[in-house]
Amino acid sequence: MTTLTHFDTACPESVNGQILQLVVDHLTDISAMEIAPSNLLYSIYQYAIGFEVHLYLEALGGGKGIAVELIVATDDQDPEKVTGFVLYLPVKDDPQACGIAYMAELASHRHLGVTQAMVREVVRRYPHCELTCSVSKVAAFEQSGFQVLGTRGPQVLMNTRDHSTDGLMGVLDVAAVYNSTEVRQIHTYLLQRNGKKAMLDAEKKRDRQIDQLSARARAFVAQVKG
C-alpha cells in the first residue's frame, strides 16, 4: 500500500534527496523531450533538470515568491522510502487551479498505480488541474479525469476541464541553469571525451527527437479533436 503526504513547506532533506534521485534515475520519463541514456547529452539534462527540481523544492513555503506544493508517496512496508512525487504550482488568481510541473515514480512501483494516486490527490485539492504528457500516457491520465486540450511543444496538453485557467501561475526562471558553470563543465568534459562531431550528432539527434515528438503530439490531438 502507498501513503501520500502533502507538503507546502520545506520537506525533510531525506525526502528531498530521494526526490532528486528519482529525477536522475527517471529522466527519460520526466523530460519533455524524452531524452534517452544513449544520447551523449543525457548527463547534462540529468544535472540541469535535477537542479530545476531542486530550486522548486527550495521554493516550498514561498521563500522564492511563488506557490509550490508537493505530494510524496511512500511505501507502507518501508515508510522512509519515497516511491513517487508530484510537484505542482497553485494558480495565484484561481484557488481551484494548479499546474503539475514534475512527477516521477519508482519503476518497481508502477504496477501499484502510484502516479495515478498522487495525481488524484492533487486534483482533489485543486479540481482545475493541468499537465503535459507524452502521447503514450494520455490514456492513463484520462482515467484520472483529464481531457486533451491541445499540444505544448513535444507533449499533449491535458486539463481536468475543457479550458485552461485564466489565472497566473508563478514559475521560476531556470534558464540560467543551462548557462551555469556546472553545465559548461559537464559539456566540456563530454566534448573532450567524445569529440566535437559526436557532440554535434547528439544535439542533432535531440532536435530530431523533439521534432518527431511534436509532430506526433499534433497528429494525435488533431485525431482526437477531429
**Residue span of the structural domain in which 187 resides:** 2-225
- Indicate which CATH number applies to the domain containing 27: 3.40.630.30
CA dist., res. 122 & res. 115, Å (int):
11
Domains identified in the chain, total number: 1
| Distance from the first to the final alpha carbon of the chain | 40
CB 93 within 8 A of CB 170: no
- Give residue-wise pLDDT tens across range 95-136: 999 999 999 999 887 777 899 999 999 999 999 999 999 999
pTM of the model: 0.95
- Give residue-wise pLDDT tens across range 20-79: 999 999 999 999 999 999 999 999 999 999 999 999 999 999 889 999 999 999 998 898
Residue ranges of alpha helices (H) inside the chain are 13-25, 27-30, 42-58, 114-125, 138-142, 181-194, 196-225
| C-alpha distance from residue 109 to each of 71, 72, 83, 138, 187 (Å) | 16, 14, 7, 19, 33
